[in-house]
Amino acid sequence: MVKFYSTHCPKCTILEKKMKAKNINYMEINDVQTMRDLGLRAAPALQTEDGTLMNFGEAIKWVEAQ
């Protein structure tokens, strides 16, 4: 399952809508400390099942390719 790191910002909302439109199952994570521990400096971010961590731009491209 995809992990969706979100702070409910406008970009987070866009990414979430795109994932829902593609019927992508995801687990939403809102804990900022967890995001920091992963080295994330901005939200949203996606982490695929294989561990690939993507920023917003990369995540949008990945979702669109699904």
Rounded-to-integer distance, Cα 25 and Cα 32, Å: 21
For 14-58, write each residue's pLDDT tens digit.
Answer: 999 999 999 999 999 999 999 999 999 999 999 999 999 999 999
With contact defined as beta carbons under 8 Å apart, do 41 and 53 qualify?
A: no
Nearest to 43 by CA among 2, 12, 17: 12
Give the three-class secondary structure for 54: strand
pLDDT at 44: 97
Whether the model pTM is above 0.75: yes
Q: Which residues contact 47 (CB under 8 A, 6 or more apart)?
A: 2, 3, 5, 38, 53, 54
Hey, where are the domains in the chain?
2-24+34-65
